[in-house]
Amino acid sequence: MMCDSKELIVGYLYDELAIGERREFDAHLAICADCRLEIEELQATRTHLALWAPPVPELSFRVTRGGAPAAPALPERSRFVPAFAFAAAAVIVLAVAAAIANVEVRYAPDGVTVRTGWARSGAPPDAQVAGRASTDAPRMVEASRSGDFAVLERRLSEIEFALGEAPPAATLQAASTSRMSDAEILRRVRQIVGDAEARQETAVARRMLDVVRDFERQRRTDVALIQQGIGQYQGLTNTEIAQNRDMLNQLVRAASSRQEK
């Protein structure tokens, strides 16, 4: 019985019947109102189905060759790196570089002086201010052996002072008397410089941590402000859209009623 054959109905609906089957079913439809109605309704349902369209997203899948088996490029949202992240990275890199290099920039009447490293600590203050930094290092090399020790001792005192710690008694003794051997003084100098560098590294690390914390605090404040601003903007925009929508609806209704009249 053709009326009970769902396969025939579906085959007819999608035009996948053999020629003979289709001819037979056409003949049946000519005499069967129920089947005719069913086909009409199912065809209408198919027409309605065509209205279901998926959203149109921005797709840009690409397979790229990597270390692992090729992986598709991540969607845009996954690759997004906020600008503040770049800014934070730049600040940290600059802070670390400046701390490690011990950079000092001075403006003098005869130009700008940029010094790095420990050399600036040992140079006489008047020489630095005079902007003769470029000749300091050679001059130190040319100084006498006893002069070297005096400079080193002065540098040590400056370092100790700069670190805010009282110099060890042994160092003071070495500085005030010349009874210790040169080798002993050098050994102690190296030891103190080493200790000072270690403390300096710790201080740099702490400073970096402070910078990162400050930046994170600032970032959170900024994000909160931005979100607040966006919320206010959206509130305003939604209100305007609602007003425009109401206005357009009124216009549509007015136009329709005129057409009807």
Partner 1 sequence: MASSDEELVTLSQGGDLDSFNQLVLRWERPIYALAYRVLGREEDARDVAQEAFLRAFRALNGFKGQAKFSSWLYRITLNLCRDWIRREKRTPVSQAPEGIDIIELAGEATPSESMEELVGRRQLGRAVSKAMAMLPEDQRTAIILKEYHGLTFQEIAELLDCPLSTVKTRLYQGLSVVRKQLHQAGVSADALKH
> What H or E segment, with its residue span, contains residue 114?
strand 111-115
* Distance of closest approach, residue 234 Cβ to partner 1, in angstroms: 15
d(CA 177, CA 147): 14
Cβ-in-10-Å burial (0-12, 13-18, 19+) of 174 comes to buried
**In terms of CB distance, is 61 or 107 closer to partner 1?**
61
138-173 burial: b if 16+ Cβ within 10 Å, else e: eeeeeeeeeeebebbbebbeebbeeeeeebeeebee
Indicate the residue among 5 and 200 with the shorter CB distance to partner 1: 5
- For the stretch 9-21, what's the b/e string if a residue is b when 16 or more beta carbons lie within 10 angstroms of its beta carbon? bebbeeeebeeeb
Which of residues 201 and 246 has its CB atom nearest to partner 1 in the complex?
246
Nearer to partner 1, 18 or 105 (CB): 18
CB of 20 to partner 1, least distance (A): 17
Closer to partner 1 at the Cβ: 2 or 99? 2
Q: Which residues bind partner 1 (CB under 8 A)?
A: 6-7, 9-11, 13-14, 16, 40-42, 44-55, 57, 59, 61-65, 69-72, 75, 241, 244-245, 248-249, 252, 256
Position 179, amino acid: R
**Residue 106 pairs with which residues in a beta bridge?**
113
CB of 204 to partner 1, least distance (A): 44
CB of 46 to partner 1, least distance (A): 7
Number of other residues whose CB lies within 10 A of the CB of residue 25: 20
Minimum distance between the CB of residue 23 and partner 1, rounded to whole angstroms? 19
| Closest of 176, 169, 207, 171 to residue 192, by C-alpha | 171
